[in-house]
Every structure is written in structure tokens, then in C-alpha cells.
Structure 1
Amino acid sequence: MSATFQVGIVGVGNMGGAMAQRLGSLGWAPWVHDLDAAKLEGLKPFGALAPADIQHAASNSVATIVCVVDAAQTRDVLFGPQGIAAHLQPGHVVLLCPTVAPEDVEAIAAQLAGFGVDAIDAPMSGGPARARDGSMSLLVAGADAVVARCEPLLQALSNKVFRISTRPGDGARTKLVNNLLAGINLVGAAEVLALARRMGLDLARTLNVIGQSSGQSWIGTDRMRRAITGDLAPRAHMSLLAKDTRLAQQAAQSVGFEGPLGPLAAQVFAAALDAGLADLDDAALLQFLERHPC
């Protein structure tokens, strides 16, 4: 197989759009689709194509990256009234990038197999900037032969491809474990900075100390830098970690595990959504905890 091949991306929000820019910069010219036409227009300067008939585009492609929000949207893209699965050639590979429940990944992969289509469980982590420069983490679970067919694409997307297992669903499990810790770390970072402000400390200086000391976490430093300056333009919506921490708790319950911190973090994110912060960046957790101490 050549170094590049025809690939599509369905869902070009923050992460999908950044991946399209990444592939475009490397000469892949991916086709893209999204319900927001403005997003498609914004990607054309990067070499992306925006076909009117995505079923036809998908049928002539080697792989399709699905980068929507949840399992319901994924099923609609693949199996809904305008779904592409029935139009894909045998051996086509669908990369499932949303953070969804492991059982949903397993069920979707099995349904795709009924069409002769292969699936790679490929959730990602790191945010749009890292997706754009190819340094995001890509968690890959799928049959060895299928992954090998998509190796050029995986390497183009990320220089941090983690081979999790041959079983679709294990990528989702790994992502949920990671994102639960991210949620715990973010709640902790927002809590201690809310405390620091109550103590009369300068938050920027306090965060400088934390960032170089034992309390450091990447997500805490990244989000709290924005929160301190009031920059809450959504790079990662509050609703995403609310969903991910909830799914992580469901996964924990399915194996009979309950930790002390995960349920609390999930409750904080759920409360933030109830307070109307779903569409803000999750950096807004600082202001939320200052106004609504849990």
C-alpha cells in the first residue's frame, strides 16, 4: 500500500478538525463531513475535500475516521438513514475515535463485521493542539492485520501510537481509565486554586509552584492557566469530561470496582452541567468551585 491513501473524517470539531489539518499538511487530502458547513469550509485551505455525497466518498476510500461525540452519533453515522456502512467496500477500515463505553465499541465493531468492514478502536487524548501537530496519544485496539493495513495513517496522525490489544473495546477501557484520572486531576487542581484564592494567594504564582512541584498534572496546569486569565473559549467542553467520568464509573461498576475519588469527580462534573456550564471549556471548573463549593 502507498504511503498515503484515500481516507475520510466524519465529525470535524475540535479534534476531528485538527486531525484533518494534520493529514492535509502531510499531503493526504482527506474528505471531511460535518453537520456544520462552516467547519468544512475552514478545512479546505488545508487540502481537505468536502464531498456532497459522503456515501460515495466513503465507498471509494480505504478508511474512515469517525470522530463524533458519542455512541449514538457514531451509530447514526454508520447505520442511520444516511449511514455509510452499507456502502463501504469489504476490507474498509473504520477508526472509532469517540470516547464511548467499551460494550458500545464491541457492538459497533460486530455490526460493521456484518458488512465485511473492519474496525479499529482508536480513542485519542491530548487536545486539538497535539492532534494538529501529531503528538496526541492514539490508543489502538484491533486485529493485527487490520492495524497493519492502517499503519501509514496511524503514524501520520500521531507519533504516540499505543498498541493496546487485539480486542476492540480495550482502547475504550484504557481511555476511560485515563480520562477518569484526568477528571480527578482537574477537579483537584480547581479545588486547590479556589482554596489558594480564598487564602489570598496570587494564583499565577501558586500555579507556577505547582507546575514545578509534586502537585503538577498536565491537565491541571493547562486548564488552570486559562481559567486564571478568564479564557473559557471551549477547546474541551465541560460536557466531555462529564460524559467520560460518568462512563468510567459505569465501567467500574460493571467489574465490581468502586474507588474513593472517581465517583466524587463525576459528581462535580455533573453538578457543573446542572449549573449551565456544559458548553464552556472545562477550565471553567475553577469558577464553578469558587461559586458552588461541593
Structure 2
Amino acid sequence: MSTVGLVGLGAMGRGMAGSLRRKGYPLRVCDARAGVAQDFAREGGVACATPAEAAAGCAVLVSVVVNSAQTEEVLFGEHGAAASMAPGSVFVMCSTVDPAWSACMEGRLADLGLLYLDAPISGGAARAASGEITVMAAGAAAAFDRAGPILDAMAAKVYRLGDQAGAGSKVKVINQLLAGVHIAAAAEAMALGLREGVDAAALYEVITHSAGNSWMFENRMPHVLAADYTPLSAVDIFVKDLGLVLDLARASKFPLPLSSTAHQMFMQASSAGHGKEDDSAVIKIFPGIELPRRGG
């Protein structure tokens, strides 16, 4: 099997790396946080200090970082991977980014003789750990030919959305529109229930077995019930992602009233000091409610 490099062992990246390891791929991993790569590599794989080291000798390098700025650093920073990637190897970009930026990155890497897949991901940490994420990918056929088996090893669904970068990111941005609006709506519903004195656990039970349920309500409101705002996906992620949604629509003067409102809700939560908390902490913007407490 070809050696795979993976940069970014966060909530999603660690699970994806674990899936590759279970499938038997020789694996080189890197994370900006001290000790994280070494901790992962105790059960298999090689811990690398820099993206350049992780990319050395790899046919495919998978990047699972937060945004385009971090992706630029992975590729072109002081110890960037681009300089150590062999011609014809594939860079798989899994972040949520501006589609135009992703299309531009494909061209930059092509000038260096490198292939690129615009391949944002979805599914959450649990699905990443079980190898069941969704990949929304676009890029040249040669990039799919080389990286396809590696994507399949990490994902339940790999969608091929076009032969040019940008198409995958557009679909991911639209997915994030729905995700952000659904989280904001779920928080609003739970907040109203609390305001009206409804038992929060009973409300959760009823809604999750009724037509008003959503995946985000079912997944995120347990964090509120447990008063556990440990971030799996943080408030500030949706400040960024819904910002990308609005930027994409603004370019064609397309109205997005629900997205705009949800973005303002996450902005309000962030400005109140909750930006690093789990995105369900958007519920904290609602006045006059008593949120569940830990152990209560």
C-alpha cells in the first residue's frame, strides 16, 4: 500500500487517521499541538514534527485543518509540505473553505507538478472514528485515481462532484448552511421550551420522535442537557462557515435570510465569550432561561 501522510489530528482528523491505520496503510502524521502526533503513533504510524516531514515519501497527503489560512501554512509555511511532495503526488484538502480559493490552490499546485483534490468532509467525530464520513470531492481524474482508495478507506460515501476544484467546496458550504441553521433553530426551540417551563429531557424525547426532529437537534441538544460544552465543533467554526455561505451568495446577490440570522446568532455567542465552546452553546444568547447544570 502507498504511504499516506495526514496533517491535523483534531476531532475529525484523528478518526480519519485511525481508519487508515486499521486498513493497513503505512501512515505519517503531524499536528501543530505538542505531543498529539506522538500520542497517536503509539498504536501505529510515524509521528512527524512538520508537514514537510509528514509529506516526505507519501503518494497522498491529507490535510484536515480548520481553514484556508492553516492549509496555506501546511503547504507553504516555513516547514511546508509542498517542497517535499514528489511530482504527481496528491494533496487532499478536507477543510471548509471559499470555493474560489480552492480552485486557485489547484492551479498553484499544478504549477509545481502536484495533483489536488478539493475534498471537504462531513459526519462528525464519531463517524470519522468509524470510517463513515462523507467526502464531497472534485478534481482531476488522475487525482481521484491515486487518492480514491484512500478516500474510500476513510469514508462511507465519496461523492465525485466534478473534474475541477471548487465544486466540492460549494457543496460543503451549502451543507454548512443547513447545519448552522439547524443548530440555531434547535437551540431556539430548546430555549423556548426552557422559558415555558417544559422539562428539557422530556422535550428532547418528544422532539426526537416527532416530525420536528433534525439530525442537529438530536446530536447537539444532549450537550445542552448535560451542560457539557466541550467543543467537538465550536461556535467560532460556524462564525467562519456561515460567513463563507454568505460570501458565496453575496457574489451573485442571492438572498439568504435564514443563514444571515443564524450567522448573527453565532456571532453574538462568540462576542459573549463562547466562541471556543461547542456550537450548541449558541443557546446561551437567549435571555431569561435557566440552562441545565452538570449533574442536575
TM value normalised by structure 1: 0.94
Query: Against the structure 1 CA distance between its residues 24 and 217, is the aligned structure 2 distance closer, same or farther, given a 3 Å change threshold?
Result: same
Deviations 1:230-288 (Å, cap 9, x if unpaired)?
Answer: 11111111111111001110001112211220111111111111111111111212233
Partners of 1:39 and 1:290 in 2: CA distance: 39
CA deviation after TM superposition for structure 1 residue 22, in Å: 1.5
**Greater shift in the superposed pair: 219-228 or 24-33:** 24-33
Amino acid at match of 1:71: S
CA deviation after TM superposition for structure 1 residue 119, in Å: 0.3
Say what the alpha-carbon RMSD is for the aligned residues: 1.5
Among 270, 273, 277, which residue is 1:273 paired with?
Answer: 270
Residue number in structure 1 paired with 2:57: 60
SS in 2 for 1:145: helix
Task: Provide structure 2 residue ranges, at least 5 long, that are not aligned to the other structure.
Answer: 290-296
Among 169, 173, 177, which residue is 2:174 paired with?
Answer: 177
CA deviation after TM superposition for structure 1 residue 57, in Å: 4.2
Among 187, 191, 195, which residue is 2:188 paired with?
Answer: 191
1:90-129 matches, within 5 Å, as 90-129=87-126
Residue number in structure 1 paired with 2:292: none
Partners of 1:178 and 1:194 in 2: CA distance: 24
Among 141, 157, 162, which residue is 1:160 paired with?
Answer: 157
Partners of 2:270 and 2:19 in 1: CA distance: 32
8 A contact 1:11–1:67 mirrored in 2: yes
Partners of 2:219 and 2:127 in 1: CA distance: 13
Amino acid at match of 1:160: K
1:13-28 matches, within 5 Å, as 13-28=10-25
Partners of 1:59 and 1:229 in 2: CA distance: 44
Amino acid at match of 2:219: D
Query: Against the structure 1 CA distance between its residues 122 and 199, is the aligned structure 2 distance closer, same or farther, given a 3 Å change threshold?
Result: same
Aligned residues: 289
Among 110, 115, 133, which residue is 1:136 paired with?
Answer: 133
Task: Provide structure 1 residue ranges, at least 5 long, that are not aligned to the other structure.
Answer: none
- Is 1:83 the counterpart of 2:80? The answer is yes
SS in 2 for 1:172: helix
Partners of 1:46 and 1:179 in 2: CA distance: 33
8 A contact 2:15–2:131 mirrored in 1: no
CA deviation after TM superposition for structure 1 residue 59, in Å: 3.0
1:193-232 matches, within 5 Å, as 193-232=190-229
Partners of 2:205 and 2:221 in 1: CA distance: 11
TM value normalised by structure 2: 0.93
Query: Against the structure 1 CA distance between its residues 215 and 94, is the aligned structure 2 distance closer, same or farther, given a 3 Å change threshold?
Result: same
Partners of 2:48 and 2:84 in 1: CA distance: 15
8 A contact 2:5–2:27 mirrored in 1: yes
SS in 1 for 2:47: coil
Among 229, 234, 237, which residue is 2:234 paired with?
Answer: 237
8 A contact 1:224–1:286 mirrored in 2: no
1:24-35 matches, within 5 Å, as 24-35=21-32
SS in 2 for 1:94: strand
Partners of 1:185 and 1:21 in 2: CA distance: 29
Partners of 2:287 and 2:135 in 1: CA distance: 34
Partners of 1:38 and 1:55 in 2: CA distance: 17
Amino acid at match of 1:6: T
CA deviation after TM superposition for structure 1 residue 113, in Å: 0.8
